Amino acid sequence: MDRRGPRVRTARPGVTAYPPALDGPTQTDGAGTVRNRLSRAEARERARLLDIHSYRVELDLSAALSQETFPSITEVRFACEGPATSFIDLRAVAVHSVVLNGMHLSPSEVCRDGRITLPELAAENVLCVVAYCAYSRDGAGMHRFVDPADGFTYLYTQFEVAEASRVFAVFDQPDLKAPFTFTVTTPPGWVVVGNAPAPAPRRLSDGSEVHAFAPTRRIPSYVVAVAAGPYSVVRDTHREADREIPLALYCRASLTPWLDAGEIFPVLRRGLGQLRDLIGHDYPFEKYDHVFVPEFNSSAMENAAAVTMRDQFLFRSRATGAALAKREMVILHELAHMWFGDLVTIRWWGDLWLNESFATYFALVCQSGADDMHGDSVRAAFAAFDKNRAYLQDELPSAHAIAADVEHIADVEGTFDSITYVKGAAVLRQLSAAVGATAFRQGIHAYLREHAWGNADVDDLLRAIEGASSHDLATWSEAWLRTAGVDMLRPEVAVDGDGTITSFTVAKTPSPRSHQIAVGLYDISSRGLLVLAERIQVAVHGDRTEVPGLRGRRRPALMVLNDGDQSYARTRMDPVSLTALTRHIGGLADPVTRALCWAMVWDMTRNGELAATAYLDLLIAGADREGELEVLGSLQHNAKVALNLYADPDTASAQRVRWADHCLDRLRRTAPGSDRQLAWFHAFAAVARSEPQVRVLHDLLDGLPVIEGMAVDHERRWAALHRLAATGHIDRAAIAAEVHRAPTASALLHAAAATAALPEAEAKADAWAAIGSSGTGNAERRALIAGFCQPEQSRLLEPYVRRYFAGLGGLWHSPDEAAQRAAAGLFPSYVLSSATLAAADEWLAQPGSEPALRRVVLEGRARVERALNAHETARSAGRTTPRPDPAGADGGRTATAVPDRQSIPVKE
């Protein structure tokens, strides 16, 4: 046996070509397990000193089937405002050699805590580093996955926020961009995808193959990518006026039958054309690849010209229109990143919104621009689900400004949230309306043109838009970009005895922001429909804004603030409007207005202003008349959350049965085989509880035709099995038998979740141990957490509240990135009690915890406190809540007087 270890194929000057095996004399200081600890001040100083000319990176992945590590060689050329000392990032398992400007540096002296100190830098420098790096199972660095369907091994990288240093030596910050040239050695027959076009491999004498890529353009390290393995590929092209852009889709071999290129390529081609026209800048790269990868931690990643995307977006079961729309949105989001993030890159992570908000905004514009009807659907879903999540995030104690203050790399993860993505996109929409769409796009074009292949910050963007529009954006940016929180808009209506409005005021709290909104006035038709009579534009300034244009008008049945969803603000209704809405919400014709109203009553429910039973009443009365499938799906999801978190615990079980019976009724009555039927099936399977309901699930699994047109395929089977497991109606043997039917990666994850959901002390103990184990992969850990955290099993889970807080520090400081993320997923909001709050307070009172970890506990505590507040509202409401008319009509009567206060379960 050759004890020298795997051969590194190309030796650089001054670098040993054969690093020793890991039991040889190498430097191992634990750097492979530490986190990147870069601060903003350090990044600024390093960027001031250094200008990176190029990287050459060689990765030998030829032993990926059998070894846990791989050799990595980096040659980086850079200038320095020297003489000075700086550092480069590398979190390797072992560093064999460091050669700076021809001088060998001792790894034992210069390598420490994921950094290599670089002393006595010259004006021009060449650094060569030879190291061993480790494959990961946590979805970061170089992730390795073995497909249980066929035993094939797949690799892919994930480097955002600062994980490239787990694969090669790199100045791992966004404002030190450079061209990257990769050479990758693999087992025979493997495909390698990178940022540059894929080369034809060169076969070596031992059978391995070398893939030598051309240099990339100047890109940041976090969008560098390598994917390698026996991936299947389908190719196409996009034709522009003066060139052709090669397109390619990649996936695991076992998922090839579900790689629906006929659906995906048209989205890509349309998106490329739309974005080029909208942005006014050509697509910046030579090709565009989309790699569907397993066990991915997020939806997708905008690696330059080589996007990685979770392969759950290749649907093994029938996909509804809502699922396809979600995938389309993610594809367009990542495509927009090719300009916003990859072509022009942020200087530091506090401006993450310049990447994510713009990608979300342009994805929405592209998706809604297909046609008017499609546009209404997209805007309705955005209002009902996405913006509502952002409102919730903006109310938490951890809320931050869109342009966040990020001091340390460890704090960046907390800004990947709905504020950065959704609130930022909504605010960009407002900015476009304020300065004019043409000036907005001209400013964006100028911004991209000036900073192409470089870096920029929020001030660069604002200067470009100010130059194109002649608007001074200083006050606007301070209010909207640099101030955290969300405003509340409430109407104050006075009506005389004849039903005439004597005054109408919009009250606003708490910020100095201004809002441009519409007030929608709706009457009830003879058919019981809420019909728009008029929209009145209102500029809301200060704490109270009077609307004289409404004085002297007949009071309509319904008055909607922010109608049309023009501004980013939470809203409420006056009591008369709320009464009309509860009786006729299904009769609102406009999908965006309807979505806004659904979002408002959900916001009231989770904030303890509306009883959860009243919210369920509204869903039972009006959800089936919701025409937008994405909105319907969000309503069904909200129902489950309301039952788990906000309903009175003493009556929640009966309410679950009631809602499940309604879902089953809709399932039976909805058109057989339709998307709506699938939506109602999943809503039913999420809450089924009574013996008759459970019997329906068993019968569907047995193939009995109990629901006409209901095809119970792979995902539908597991949805039923999850619920049966959580309610104790199947055991481990039944779960194992289902895996045996189809032993895929997806089935194994479903089985892990279902087993963890079993209402047994042993199942919970096993899941808890596996979640904390370093040998558990990221996807399995997510599945285990989803199964473990069952609010209906709170008594069984009570002992884990103390165990969570006792082990939180160890979990957070684990070298496994996925274990750290488990700290948030495991927060014991499955035990809604004052004892949970007390345990959180006790932990928070201890000094020394990192800000990012405190954020996790503060947000979890806020969720529990919110739920307990909602319980009080639910208990006080009792049976006083009026049930809406399921038909959505009340004989054409229009409510003009304030109803009895007990008739609307509103908490003042």
Shared domain check, 454 and 516: no
- Alpha helices (runs of H) in 608-673, residue ranges in sequence order: 612-622, 629-641, 652-669
Question: Looking at residue 718, what is its pLDDT?
Answer: 97
One-letter amino acid of 846: Q
**Nearest-5° angle of CA 426, CA 432, CA 435?**
140
Selection from 169, 141, 294 nearest residue 225 by Cα: 141
Question: Looking at residue 877, what is its pLDDT?
Answer: 81
Percent of the chain with pLDDT over 70: 92
Give, for 505, the enclosing helix (H) or strand (E): strand 501-509
Structural domains of the chain, count: 4
The answer on pLDDT for 791 being more than 70 is: yes
792-850 tens-digit pLDDT: 999 999 999 999 999 998 888 877 777 777 888 999 999 999 999 999 999 999 988 88
Question: Nearest 5°: phi and psi at 644?
Answer: -80, -35
d(CA 113, CA 819) in angstroms, rounded, equals 20
Shared domain check, 446 and 391: yes
Question: Looking at residue 753, what is its pLDDT?
Answer: 98
Catalytic residue among 334, 356, 630, 859: 334
Question: Looking at residue 553, what is its pLDDT?
Answer: 94
Collapsing DSSP to helix, strand or coil, 652 comes out as helix
End-to-end CA distance of the chain: give it in Å, rounded: 78
Shared domain check, 212 and 120: yes
Of the candidates 712, 747, 775, which is a domain's last residue?
A: 712
Shared domain check, 474 and 497: no
**Nearest-5° angle of CA 175, CA 179, CA 180?**
110
Of the candidates 184, 213, 230, which is a domain's last residue?
A: 230
The answer on pLDDT for 310 being more than 70 is: yes
The pairing of strands 141-146 and 124-136 is parallel
Which residues make beta-bridge pairs with 504? 493
The answer on pLDDT for 125 being more than 70 is: yes
Is 882 contained in some domain? no
CB 750 within 8 A of CB 718: yes
And the tokens for 479?
């209010």
Least confident window among 18-27, 454-463, 736-745: 18-27
CB 386 within 8 A of CB 418: yes
pTM of the model: 0.92
One-letter amino acid of 117: T
CATH code of 516's domain? 2.60.40
Question: Looking at residue 818, what is its pLDDT?
Answer: 72
Question: Looking at residue 907, what is its pLDDT?
Answer: 34
The answer on pLDDT for 885 being more than 70 is: no
Question: Looking at residue 369, what is its pLDDT?
Answer: 79
Question: Looking at residue 821, what is its pLDDT?
Answer: 77
Of the candidates 416, 451, 480, which is a domain's last residue?
A: 480
Count CA atoms closer than 13 A to 796's CA, side-chain side: 20
CB 265 within 8 A of CB 186: no
Is 720 contained in some domain? no
Question: Nearest 5°: phi and psi at 88?
Answer: -120, 150
What are the angstrom distances between the C-alpha of 123 and each of 94, 110, 258, 404, 686?
Answer: 29, 20, 53, 35, 63
Shared domain check, 468 and 349: yes
Selection from 145, 175, 201 nearest residue 45 by Cα: 175
Shared domain check, 670 and 596: no
What average pLDDT does range 691-695 have in this prediction?
Answer: 97
What average pLDDT does range 61-69 have in this prediction?
Answer: 97
608-652 tens-digit pLDDT: 999 999 999 999 999 999 999 999 999 999 999 999 999 999 999
Shared domain check, 213 and 70: yes
Confidence of residue 368 (pLDDT cuts 50, 70, 90): confident
d(CA 392, CA 414) in angstroms, rounded, equals 15
What are the angstrom distances between the C-alpha of 629 and each of 321, 643, 679?
Answer: 7, 21, 8
d(CA 166, CA 380) in angstroms, rounded, equals 42
Least confident window among 69-78, 258-267, 331-340, 896-905: 896-905
Residue 575 lies in domain: 487-608
Confidence of residue 35 (pLDDT cuts 50, 70, 90): confident
Burial of 741 (0-12, 13-18, 19+ CB in 10 A): exposed
Question: Looking at residue 33, what is its pLDDT?
Answer: 57
Collapsing DSSP to helix, strand or coil, 896 comes out as coil
Selection from 322, 540, 341 nearest residue 452 by Cα: 341
Shared domain check, 643 and 569: no
d(CA 744, CA 729) in angstroms, rounded, equals 24
One-letter amino acid of 739: V
What average pLDDT does range 183-204 have in this prediction?
Answer: 96
And the tokens for 708?
């006409």
3-state secondary structure 47-97: HHHEEEEEEEEEEECCCCCCCCEEEEEEEEEEEECCCEEEEEECCCCEEEE
Shared domain check, 464 and 577: no
Question: Looking at residue 8, what is its pLDDT?
Answer: 41
Cis peptide bond prior to 510, omega within 30° of 0: yes
Q: What residues have CB less than 8 Å from 321, skipping those under 6 apart?
A: 629, 675
Is 463 contained in some domain? yes
50-59 tens-digit pLDDT: 999 999 999 9
Confidence of residue 21 (pLDDT cuts 50, 70, 90): very low
Question: Looking at residue 374, what is its pLDDT?
Answer: 62
Question: Looking at residue 9, what is its pLDDT?
Answer: 41
Is 725 contained in some domain? no
Judge whether 334 counts as a catalytic residue: yes
574-605 tens-digit pLDDT: 999 999 999 999 889 999 999 999 999 999 99
Query: Using alpha carbons only, how large is the chain's radius of gyration in Å?
Result: 29
What number of other Cβ atoms are within 10 A of residue 205's Cβ?
5
d(CA 458, CA 449) in angstroms, rounded, equals 15
